[in-house]
Chains A and B, each alone.
Chain A
């Protein structure tokens, strides 16, 4: 035998590669199901997170301006601080911004716009508010636009197509549009969806009347531009002004700056000139600030969703931690051999990190695809809520945004590598001889429990402290409960760390029920000193259960507060509003002739009318409601947070200059009773004193309520937004409703019962996604419990073999596993339920209060919590039974 000596030509990187190839991958290949499940669970977390992000993004992106349909974002938008802009502003602007050849404003385009959010009319007894979706009718000056297009060569196709069509059928889209009163352009998407062609009719309710619109053409799509929103319809300006009762008035003017002045100093100079030219009549906003306003408005809502979606990811993270930790334990003796053969600790560590990263890459890739698919579902739920709380939108599909996808992918890999870090360190640090010694024993039980308990308690204390932090405030008054969320995070992690200790307690309690059962005693013997895997599984469950429980406490409190509020608020018998008011930004009105006719109906004994107008206030947007304050007071409909000190505010003759505001207004602008505010109106600013603060769970932007007569005068209108009717004794509300629906096809008519149901439904819908997210979290945690038990049983193969050899049946072994799983799940659930109460309080008193500004009456939904407390341990036991039943198959095969 002749063996020459060998030199060391090794490189660490290559050794890690060998470890990865010859060990990690072979282990995974040996247990493909486990690997697959783990990847799927991680990807589920990523998918949920990404889908919410994508849906949020789609909902915000749907908030567009008209100019973006042409080809570009508007550089500036001019709107009235309250009400509408008079036509004359446009004239003033055109004169002031002079068209001299050398002027920087030469070539600036002003696009006057009238906008109406409306909906198709009902067909029979249809679904709830918001079910029909909204359209946005935009009126633009098409003749001016045609000249503009000719000048700028910007978007000729609008008109080129028109002239081609001209030759073919003698009319031409533009010709039809200008020639006929109710002709519109619609988006290609809408045409495809509704089967519309040039010449077909589309019926929509504008204000209180259904109108037929004729499709004159399709808005041309551009390949380099996002498609125009599906709900967009374009009409000639004067026609829409007339149709919507806005003759001589504009909603806004969008400005496109000349090419040379779209950036930098000349842009700023132009903006300054524009502001000077508009003066008091309007406010100038840049394109970004308009979109930013939409973002700001929904920021709280979106952040909430994003954070909740992190839950699933957090539980997934627990699982990765758990799985890698288990793998270290399982392969401990193998690592010892490697170390004994001369593999360095750093090489072992690197191989583990690679393994974690690979898991992350696989989970991230599957998760990104899954998230995209899932987003198609969540986007509907998100857009419905945005629709009913914030602004009209018609979002249908969520695109796969590359930035978001990359972010979610990196998050998966990053989390996974982080999760691999500690097990890797542990694997690499222990000297081989000791690893062997541990490998022989039960393994994984740790000594540093005192430190862990301290860390857990420290985090809980930190959570309590953070709960008292004040929120972050953004410009425009919207706020973010950073302290509250951090507190929740710390609390859940801290409780998770302590979860392992609750296992001992539960095992001790369970021992009282199992004195005479050998398998149960065996199961408990393993939990008396919980291994790190037991701890991870319990912590994952605790995390999911506490979040779900906390959410149900929040929702329960919401339901209670809202239903009490509604019982208080809705005292009238019949309510009417325009059938087009399906979204929060739809301001369709009931004309004075209509509402006078309705209120003089012989069945009506008392009535109130409300006018609702959006107004800019304190850098954000709020709503002003004009109502008969006296009617409110008489019918005891306000639920006061701070009651007015004198009755003058309710007296029409004395209440000019007085108002009451909603709680969210008071919270958002930090004003109290007795404060004075200056409200912009078309007739100039009005000073108002706040006389009282009332609760309104229907609004998180802020409402100022004044006497209707004053508001109508300030805004120069006699129309109203909604009506409440009190019927004479003996009149049947349903009969009155049926009669009014027949005589007013453009009005939505609700009875008291129906409206209550609708309000509750919209609230539940708002929480629908959050519930779904929680459910996913719990499912992931339960699956994690299964994986944990599978790995624990695999470690105990020798013990199971012995049990089988001693004559225990497979079902017997399954029973042992089920008992252990039940105890694990009970420990996690019990801890979770206790923390859910703390989390619920945090959500009600801190996070909700700071985000929406609502005071809620706490309620503990016993039934939901009980359900959680039963379902989770039972499913835990069931999962464990299955794992035990089939996990015990291997050892018995070995005995054969």
Chain B
């Protein structure tokens, strides 16, 4: 697939195949198009040409409403800039994807609670995002992306703001989940440690992907 912004190409004929349960590290210099690729994969942006298939379904051929349903059911996004919802508390942010899926309150509470404990955010569950530190926001965003057991997790520098202990904890969690649930994971990262949990690593340079390992 390809994607241009203002006529300058960001993605040039990028091709990528990912299996369920597979973990892929995506590295590359700043401004090389990693976030753009992730957005196209997650149905948040549309490529100018080419297609994105998830389980045989072509994201570029369905309308916005179906795309929304697909994001709701199958995709978990950890955004580079977190994008927590400002009017919702940490817990409510994490519960939100479950709310969209119509999960019963008790179950919602339980799942969100255990995930928040797991990312060590249980003590801040009732805080509003504007009161959080960068790392806390990031952990909350990760919990939100995982809470509904998506088929694909697209994580944009999920450990960028974390210390080594927290960072290791998050990576362990991601590894665990993709192993248990057969979840595919795309992990954008600049760190060696993070890339190490993935079976495969690709590097983005000037809009082109090159295989590094795997």
Q: A residues bordering B, Cβ < 8 Å?
A: 1-11, 14-15, 18, 22-23, 26-27, 30, 333-334, 336-346, 429, 431-433
Contact = CB atoms under 8 A, between A and B. Distances in A.
B125 interface: no
A341 B102 contact: no
B68 A339 contact: yes
Interface residues of B, number: 46
B177 A3 contact: yes
Contacts of B148: 6
Given A340-B83, A345-B64, A433-B44, A8 B101 contact: yes
A10 B42 CA distance: 20
Contacts of B84: 337
A348 B149 CA distance: 24
The 6 closest A-B pairs by CB, nearest first: A342-B72, A9-B102, A342-B71, A433-B45, A10-B102, A26-B87
Interface stretch (B21-29, B91-99, B184-192, B195-203): B91-99
Contact of A346 (B65, B102, B181): B65
A338 B85 contact: yes
A334 B88 CA distance: 11
Interface in B72-125: 72-73, 75, 77, 79, 83-88, 92, 96-103, 107, 111, 114-115, 118
Given A3-B111, A4-B149, A345-B68, A333 B102 contact: no
Interface string B162-186: 0000000000010011001100000
A557 B211 CA distance: 84
A30 B85 CA distance: 14
Given A30-B87, A337-B85, A340-B77, A5 B68 contact: no
Contacts of B79: 337, 340
A11 B65 CA distance: 14
Nearest to A18: B99
B85 A23 contact: yes
B181 A343 contact: no
A855 B79 CA distance: 71
B64 A10 contact: no
B140 to A, nearest CB: 13
A23 B65 CA distance: 21
A755 B77 CA distance: 82
Instruction: Tell which of A2, A342, A346 has the most Cβ of chain B within 10 Å.
Output: A342
Nearest to B111: A3
Contact of B64 (A8, A333, A431): A431
B149 to A, nearest CB: 4
A27 B85 CA distance: 12
17 contacts: A1-B180, A3-B146, A3-B177, A6-B107, A11-B102, A14-B102, A15-B100, A22-B87, A334-B85, A337-B83, A341-B100, A342-B71, A343-B68, A343-B72, A344-B64, A344-B69, A345-B65
Contact of A341 (B46, B71, B103, B118): B71
Contacts of B181: 3, 5
Contacts of B111: 3, 6
B96 A341 contact: yes
B32 interface: no
B77 to A, nearest CB: 6
A344 B65 contact: yes
B118 A1 contact: yes
Nearest to A434: B45
A345 B45 CA distance: 15
Contact of B173 (A1, A9, A432): A1
B161 interface: no
Interface of B: 39, 42, 44-46, 64-65, 68-73, 75, 77, 79, 83-88, 92, 96-103, 107, 111, 114-115, 118, 144, 146-149, 173, 176-177, 180-181
A431 B44 contact: yes
A458 B75 CA distance: 48
B97 A342 contact: yes
Nearest to B130: A894
Contacts of A336: 83
A433 B64 CA distance: 13
Nearest to B76: A341
Contacts of B69: 8, 342, 344
A23 B77 CA distance: 21
A5 B39 contact: no
Contacts of B144: 341
A342 B100 contact: yes
B179 to A, nearest CB: 10
Contacts of A5: 149, 181
A341 B44 CA distance: 9
Contacts of B118: 1
A754 B42 CA distance: 84
Contacts of A11: 102
Contacts of B107: 6
Contacts of A7: 101
Contacts of B103: 6, 9
B99 A433 contact: no
Contacts of A338: 85
Given A431-B64, A433-B39, A6 B101 contact: yes
Contacts of B71: 340-342
B87 A1 contact: no
Nearest to B98: A6
Contacts of B44: 339-340, 431-433
B180 to A, nearest CB: 7
Nearest to A11: B102
A341 B87 contact: no
A350 B18 CA distance: 36
Given A1-B118, A3-B177, A343 B45 contact: no
A493 B99 CA distance: 43
Contacts of A18: 99-100
B72 A8 contact: yes
Nearest to A10: B102
Nearest to A345: B64
A87 B211 CA distance: 114
Contacts of B39: 433
A8 B173 contact: no
A10 B86 contact: no
Nearest to A7: B101
A27 B83 contact: no
Which of A2, A6, A7, A432 gathers most chain B CB within 10 Å?
A6
Nearest to A347: B68
